Chain A
Amino acid sequence: MIGGLFIYNHKGEVLISRVYRDDIGYVFQDVVGWRNAVDAFRVNVIHARQQVRSPVTNIARTSFFHVKRSNIWLAAVTKQNVNAAMVFEFLYKMCDVMTAYFGKISEENIKNNFVLIYELLDEILDFGYPQNSETGALKTFITQQGIKGQTKEEQSQITSQVTGQIGWRREGIKYRRNELFLDVLESVNLLMSPQGQVLSAHVSGRVVMKSYLSGMPECKFGMNDKIVIDKQGKGGASDDAGKSGKQSIAIDDCTFHQCVRLSKFDSERSISFIPPDGEYELMRYRTTKDIILPFRVIPLVREVGRTKLEVKVVIKSNFKPSLLAQKIEVRIPTPLNTSGVQVICMKGKAKYKASENAIVWKIKRMAGMKESQISAEIELLPTNDKKKWARPPISMNFEVPFAPSGLKVRYLKVFESKLNYSDHDVIKWVRYIGRSGIYETRC
């Protein structure tokens, strides 16, 4: 299991160090024995000249797992054959918990909260074994204000929540207004050949829920999942099935927050759960079939002699004219030996950014079924570098108000039998946002 956990700043100075197991180098006579491990990581990874070649490093039979958040390094150290996936999941979770407590993970924030971090580390990692790390539960008893004046009931409520089956929610939550917000957030990924052939495309989506519900509500979530719709269709009229079948989507795979009863999903494909309070991610999913690609990029690159490139890029929006895409940005890479660029675009603003080796073309808004174009002349410095320019792909960013996968929320039912509010009293909001993931066209 995890033998120790260290947090470093970008210089490699230790901000937090927590040793769980002696085997990582804590020697009897040498009080600061774990320093060896700490130094080994600094020298071999943080100060390494080369780019990091692996997130897992083995130095002198000691394994280091690291993740980086802005310029902070989190490293877990072990000498055993640990579950590597678990260690990384834990490090991410650790980041989530810290963010939930004090916001951005930065050197300053970590120094400001080091006592809190030690307290958290003591709680969520015992002898290197991750323990309940749900922020909702942790916040009930790790507060930095001291837990004074707790009654016995309160104490046992805390412990039963931390260890209980519903570790993510506490009893006795009350809201005057029962309200919930559902966000369907999708990122659409595309890799297209210069000729416009789709090399790979997929949508990875998340359903994020903000719930402000009283008591311990039982929820049921429904969407236009092809398997469910087809199953229901079988029971009803045949033409009905055909109609709904068109609107349903095939989900390749989905994963759920730990509140969802997986065995029930496996057997009935129904999504039922008792939600955590506040914001959390209910599910993630992935689709590859019938994806609506909101934009099409048509590149044209011509080399005019050795010192000039002509680039023309057309983008076409491909969705209902009534909808508006926002924050559109097209990034056209330029060779390293670019000396000057002249750009003409019909819409938006375009600029050559020498530091990024790219022309960045920004358009604030664009309606569906429209087309826009940019053309640029790139002057090159003559070089005797034989190596050809790698021509990185043209990438795109955007945001659209629909789900490119075609996912639709059909219902979210709330049942709370003990309190007297019904499904109808709950105010529900649904929003769809489609964003670009890695949306690239090769040129």
Chain B
Amino acid sequence: MTDSKYFTTTKKGEIFELKAELNSDKKEKKKEAVKKVIASMTVGKDVSALFPDVVNCMQTDNLELKKLVYLYLMNYAKSQPDMAIMAVNTFVKDCEDPNPLIRALAVRTMGCIRVDKITEYLCEPLRKCLKDEDPYVRKTAAVCVAKLHDINAQLVEDQGFLDTLKDLISDSNPMVVANAVAALSEIAESHPNSNLLDLNPQTINKLLTALNECTEWGQIFILDCLANYTPRDDRESQSICERVTPRLSHANSAVVLSAVKVLMKFMEMLPKDLDYYGTLLKKLAPPLVTLLSAEPELQYVALRNINLIVQRRPEILKHEMKVFFVKYNDPIYVKLEKLDIMIRLASQANIAQVLAELKEYATEVDVDFVRKAVRAIGRCAIKVEQSAERCVSTLLDLIQTKVNYVVQEAIVVIKDIFRKYPNKYESVIATLCENLDSLDEPEARAAMIWIVGEYAERIDNADELLESFLEGFHDESTQVQLQLLTAIVKLFLKKPTETQELVQQVLSLATQDSDNPDLRDRGYIYWRLLSTDPVAAKEVVLAEKPLISEETDLIEPTLLEELICHIGTLASVYHKPPSAFVEGSRGVQHKRLPGSAGSGESVESPDTGSAAGVSDAPPAVIPSQGDLLGDLLNLDLAPPATTTGPPPPTSSGMQMGAMDLLGGGLDSLMGDESEPPPIPLRTDTPQSPQLPHQSPSPPDYSPTELGGDLGGSPAMGAGFGAPPAAMPASFNAPVSGGLDDLFDLGGGVGMPSGAYSPPKSIWLPAMKAKGLEISGTFARRAGVVQMEMTLTNKAMSVMTDFAIQFNRNSFGLAPAGPLQVLTPVSPNQSIEVALPLNTVGPVMKMEPLNNLQVAVKNNIDVFYFSCQYPISMLFVEDGKMERQVFLATWKDIPNDNESQFQIKDCHLSSDAASSKLQGSNIFTIAKRTVDGQDMLYQSTKLTNGIWVLAELRVQAGNPNYTVSLKCRAPEVAQCVFQSYEAVLKN
């Protein structure tokens, strides 16, 4: 008998007919009718009108029919909540059925009917089923707790189901354990700080025992849960690893990957000289290779993960290059991923093989793949110096094929090779120039123009070549225009006599006929430079460029660490932190590898930049997503660019690229932290009224004015001269995730502190909020920022269902949990709530900086208000700087960033002030007494890692204090000062 006939009914009046059939006396006919209903439902017809008739069929002893009715119920109960209640009795009855299969079916289905009214009735049967004698029922009930929690978290907590669920971890049946673990893990995700799973050596032991006995899926649940545990010491870590390694031989790839995750994480804790460490490394390689013989979709997941693993621990797979060779029949997504890993594994030892392969790939059909292969050859050249020559000749061979996109891609990478090995391969320029006409992609054109400009002195007809591009200047993309402008200026500086006309032409094209501010500004800078001081112009434009480093497009380390903790999951496939693609509170916690807490150090401590000094500048890189971010922060911490000598390591070209691309609100805050040069240029120049819009000759500005405009940015020119690679093509979500991470630096240790908290003020008057009055304040208690509120009901009716949300704000403040208003607030009642906050929310600069916009919802409406928090509650507990670092940093921050404030009428001694401030995490580092005046040097750190340094001057007998604040982000100064004042005066 076939069921396909149910799909074919299309006649009119069908619903009516079905209704009759559903109410038929004959069991068979009923069943047929329900099947038809389900089929209609599947193809998308609305059969909700049949609800009562279908539910009537529920009371049957035919299990198949029952399942069908349940299926219908799950789909439509939400749209008919009142009718859904009709089904409750049957569920309750079924939960008592002697047949365990029916009991389980009932409890499973009940959880899927997401109707609030039903959930109350669900509690009793669920409680019974959680303690059912049959494991099948218990394992189903365990999952049901997670379902119920999803509908009504409060109910689950109130009813004590969480405790029962925890008890199930000790159940005798492995599958019950596995499902309980899965359910608890899911619930714990939405309560980041609840410690719900309470992983301790005893529970871990239970889990490891169950691991050997449960189904493959259960093993995945348990391993994923284990990965969240942090062992106490290396011995515990090793013993867990030993018990997990057998899973690497499981046929299920997901079990293998989850086991790899646990091992990769726990390995961090093992000392590297331990024998076991080496053994473990060896054990990891074969299973990873085996994953590549799985089905293509799984291969893809595996390859994305291997990409991460190779970045974290290259030693594991360094001998396995061959398995990543591309097969002709591999799906394209597998091919592209393999190519990535091949480049990562390329080394002097295997480069010959790799190059031979890459050359082979460059002749394939898929354009993306071919391009990537060509690009890979270039990367090999940059990575393995010994192979550079062969790579270049391979690229030349490829250029000879004249396949358009191959040629273009090759030129782009050859430009990078020039950057890495200057003055070595310029002999190929002639060949490149032959292909000038065939270039139609902006990136390739820009690369070619850069090459011509950079080596203008060696190309006889450089002026002709560049002139040919100039004809269609306005049709070119910005990238090409900018490059052309720079190249012609370079050409002019090298061969001033013949090219004057050309440079005039390009400058006027860029400044007068273009709408693009970037282009115009760059044009003006060159124009003024050239007209005022050609020698300086030469120094700027033809400055020596820093070498590019070999490792490109590595994932930024903090993000990499987080992704390693997510091996096997979607995050590892997207290479994005979960917060970048998961909505709501779930998965927003950032995971970290254990034992590597110091990894954020370089970002936190400002001494790295100053200690390294200008001479010891790290090499700049072709900024990829991650690097760029690192650069940005380095820049922020590096000495200001007023020093003479070679330009600082990070050219502002990158910086600008970063700011352009860091869309949304992030850029404002980040931008403010970094050195200011690009911003004034952008805004000032177009506004100046006397700009040479009308005059065709270069403007005659006085040098002093120019000095002001260009002050402190010799890096600018170099930045402009940098190749277009400095502007990454894509700059997507991983970065924002990475940023979140960085903003989250101030975890802070719990320390009882007498932090100052202002008195409560009324934030939301009852008038504006239909009777709800909210007054509140902020406080930092034991390292946690809290929002303390009094909710007063001044209306006539009861208020329930409170919830709270924040708008994006300067420091990423966000509620760490839901607003806990347990009981309804009756008229004229007030309740106190404390809402713990975290600082991992989305960031947007606010005006004033400490402004917070809040939305509060209750059963009546949604209300909005804004309030200002004292910035002192964002001062973290580890904000005490080393003396040396303090000194260096103080010197380092330009004086422009210093702001001075007066605190009047303060009658504390300097020691009392110091201890008072310490209570609010403003730490005194040194004290100096000069002429009866006490100077306190103080530091404090904000949750997002911004340091504020202060000098507090206290004159005995004088009630007026002077505070000088220095900070790389000067806009926080005002707020910090306000905090000083508030703390000292209270």
Residues in A lying within 8 Å of B, measured CB to CB: 1, 13-17, 19-23, 26, 28-29, 31-32, 35, 38, 51-56, 58, 61, 63, 65-67, 78-86, 88-92, 108, 111-115, 118-119, 122, 126-127, 129-134, 141, 144, 146-147, 150, 152, 155-156, 158-160, 162-165, 167, 191, 193, 199-200, 202, 204, 252-258, 261-263, 265-266, 281, 283-284, 286, 386-388, 390-393, 395, 438, 440, 442
Are the CB atoms of B363 and A119 closer together than 8 Å?
Answer: no
Question: Which residues in window 242-272 of B have CB below 8 A to A?
Answer: 243, 245-247, 249-254, 256-258
Q: Which residue of B is nearest A143, CB measured?
A: B64
Enumerate B284-301 residues with CB–CB distance to A below 8 Å: 286-287, 289-290, 293, 295-298, 300-301
B953 within 8 A of A: no
B108 x A58 contact (CB < 8 A): no
Q: Mark B142-162, 1 if CB is under 8 A from A, else 0.
A: 011011001000000000000
User: In the complex, what residues of A have CB within 8 A of residue B332's CB?
Assistant: 51, 53
**Which chain A residue has the least Cβ–Cβ distance from B252?**
A89
Could you give 30 example pairs across A and B, Cβ below 8 Å?
A20-B112, A31-B79, A35-B44, A53-B332, A56-B300, A61-B581, A65-B297, A66-B297, A79-B583, A81-B587, A83-B224, A86-B217, A91-B297, A111-B4, A122-B70, A126-B140, A129-B221, A147-B63, A155-B100, A165-B214, A199-B353, A200-B325, A254-B249, A255-B251, A255-B287, A262-B249, A266-B246, A386-B403, A390-B365, A395-B328
Known: A17-B42, A85-B568, A122-B70. 4 other contacts (CB 8 A): A26-B78, A118-B38, A286-B286, A388-B401
Taken together as a complex, chains A and B put the C-alpha atoms of A204 and B925 apart, in Å, by: 65
What is the minimal beta-carbon distance from B564 to any residue of chain A, in angstroms? 14
Evaluate contact between A79 and B108: CB separation under 8 angstroms: no
- What A residues does B586 contact at CB under 8 A? 80-81
Q: Is B578 an interface residue (CB 8 A)?
A: yes
* Interchain CA distance A261-B247 in the complex, whole Å: 10
* Interface residue range, chain B: 35 or more
Interface code B324-364, partner A: CB below 8 Å = 1, 0 otherwise?
01011101110000000000000000000100110010011
Q: A80-B582, A85-B253, A85-B302 are in contact. Are A113 and B286 (CB under 8 A)?
A: no
Q: Are A158 and B403 in contact (CB under 8 A)?
A: no
When C-beta atoms are compared, the residue in chain B nearest to A392 turns out to be B328
Knowing A89-B298, A265-B246, say if A440 contacts B325 (CB, 8 Å). no
Chain B residues whose CB sits within 8 angstroms of the CB of A88 once the complex forms: 253-254, 295, 297-298, 301
Residues of A contacting B356 in the complex (Cβ-Cβ under 8 angstroms): 193
- For residue A122, which residues in chain B have a CB less than 8 angstroms away from its CB? 67, 70-71, 108
B212 A55 Cβ-Cβ under 8 A: no
Residues of B within 8 A of A38 (CB): 44
Q: Which residues on A sit within 8 Å (CB–CB) of B780?
A: none
Q: Are A393 and B43 in contact (CB under 8 A)?
A: no
If A51-B332, A253-B286 touch, does A63 touch B581 (CB 8 Å cutoff)?
yes
**A258, B216: Cβ atoms closer than 8 Å:** yes
Are A113 and B3 in touch, CB under 8 angstroms?
A: yes
Q: Which of A191, A265, A386 contacts B325 (CB 8 A)?
A: A191
Given known A-B contacts A111-B3, A115-B68, A55 and B333 have beta carbons under 8 A apart: yes
Q: Which of A21, A26, A266 has the most CB of B within 10 A?
A: A266
Q: Point out the residues of chain B lying under 8 angstroms from A150, CB to CB.
A: 99
Does A388 lie within 8 Å of B333, measured CB to CB?
Answer: no
B135 contacts the other chain (Cβ, under 8 Å)? yes
Whether A129 and B174, one on each chain, are in contact in the complex, defined by CB atoms closer than 8 angstroms, is no
Asked if B173 and A387 make an inter-chain contact with CB atoms under 8 angstroms apart, the answer reads: no
Partner of A388, one of B75, B215, B295, B363: B363
Q: A155-B101, A252-B289 are in contact. Are A58 and B574 (CB under 8 A)?
A: yes
Contact with A along B357-379 (1 / 0, CB 8 A): 10010011100000000000000
Check A84–B568 contact: CB distance below 8 A: yes
Contact B175 A53 (CB under 8 A): no
Q: Which 5 A-B pairs have the closest CB atoms?
A: A253-B286, A159-B136, A111-B4, A85-B254, A266-B246
B573 within 8 A of A: yes
Contact across chains for B182 and A81 when beta carbons are under 8 A apart: no
State which of B48, B100, B175, B217 has its C-beta within 8 Å of the C-beta of A156. Answer: B100
Minimum CB–CB distance from A323 to chain B (whole Å) comes to: 26
A81 touches B46 (CB 8 A): no
Residues of B within 8 A of A395 (CB): 328
B176/A163 in contact, CB under 8 A: yes
Cα distance, A119 to B62, chains bound together (Å): 13
Minimal Cβ-Cβ distance residue in A for B133: A156
Q: Are B143 and A127 touching (Cβ within 8 A)? A: yes
A60 CA / B366 CA spacing, docked (Å): 27
B65-117 CB contacts (< 8 Å) to partner A: 67-68, 70-71, 74-76, 78-79, 98-101, 104, 108, 111-112, 114
Residue of A nearest to B34 (CB): A115
A266 and chain B: residue at smallest CB distance:
B246
Q: Whole-angstrom distance between the alpha carbons of A255 and B246 in the complex?
A: 10
Chain B residues with Cβ under 8 A from A84's Cβ?
301, 568-570, 572-573
CA distance A118 to B298 in the complex (A): 25
What are the residues of chain A within 8 A of B99 when measuring CB–CB?
Answer: 150, 155
Whole-angstrom distance between the alpha carbons of A212 and B918 in the complex?
Answer: 77
Q: Are A79 and B582 also in contact (CB < 8 A) when A146-B62, A388-B363 are?
A: yes
Q: Are B570 and A281 in contact (CB under 8 A)?
A: no
Cβ distance A296 to chain B, nearest Cβ, rounded Å: 19
Query: Is B254 touching A81 in the complex (CB atoms < 8 A)?
Result: no
Q: Do the beta carbons of B182 and A13 come within 8 Å of each other? A: no
Question: For residue A86, which residue of chain B has the nearest CB?
Answer: B254
B325 and A199 within 8 A (CB): yes
Q: Are B570 and A1 in contact (CB under 8 A)?
A: no
In the assembled complex, the Cα of A63 lies from the Cα of B74 at a distance in Å of 23
Given the known inter-chain contacts A31-B48, A129-B221, A442-B360, please indicate yes or no for A266 contacting B322, CB distance below 8 A: no
B2 at the interface (CB under 8 A from A): yes
Judging by beta carbons under 8 Å apart, are A393 and B328 in contact?
A: yes
- Report how far A130 CA is from B301 CA in the complex, Å: 19
B143 contacts across to A, CB distance below 8 A: 126-127, 129
How would residues 127 to 142 of chain B score, 1 for a CB under 8 Å from any chain A CB and 0 otherwise?
Answer: 0000000111101100
Q: In the docked arrangement, what's the CA distance between A82 and B224, Å?
A: 10
Minimum distance in angstroms from B243 CB to a CB of chain A? 8
B186 proximal to A (CB < 8 A): yes
Residue from the list B44, B250, B298, B301 in contact with A258, Cβ < 8 A: B250
- Residue on A with the closest CB to B260? A85
Kindly list chain B residues whose C-beta atoms are within 8 Å of the C-beta of A83.
220, 224, 254, 257-258, 568-569
- The answer, yes or no, to whether B213 is at the interface (CB within 8 Å) is yes
Whether A146 touches B570, Cβ cut-off 8 Å, given contacts A129-B221, A262-B246, is no
Which among B6, B247, B323, B583 is the interface contact of A200 at CB below 8 angstroms?
B323
Set of chain A residues within 8 Å of B578, measured between Cβ atoms: 81
Contacts of A158 in B (CB 8 A): 101, 136
Contact B3–A163 (Cβ < 8 Å): no
- C-alpha spacing A122/B256, complex, angstroms: 26
Is the pair B139, A390 in contact by a Cβ cutoff of 8 Å? no
B587 nearest CB neighbor, chain A only: A81
CB <8 Å contact, B245 and A266 = yes
Most chain B Cβ neighbours within 10 Å, of A17, A111, A141 = A111
Q: Which of B39, B111, B290 contacts A255 (CB 8 A)?
A: B290
Contacts A112-B2, A155-B101 given; does A438 touch B301 at CB 8 Å: no
Q: How far is the CA of A31 from the CA of B192 in the complex (A)?
A: 32
- A86-B568, A255-B256 known; A286 vs B289 contact (CB < 8 Å): yes
Q: B residues 196-226 with Cβ under 8 Å of A?
A: 212-217, 220-221, 224
**Would you give the shortest CB distance from B857 to chain A, in whole angstroms?**
16
CB–CB A32/B328 < 8 A? no
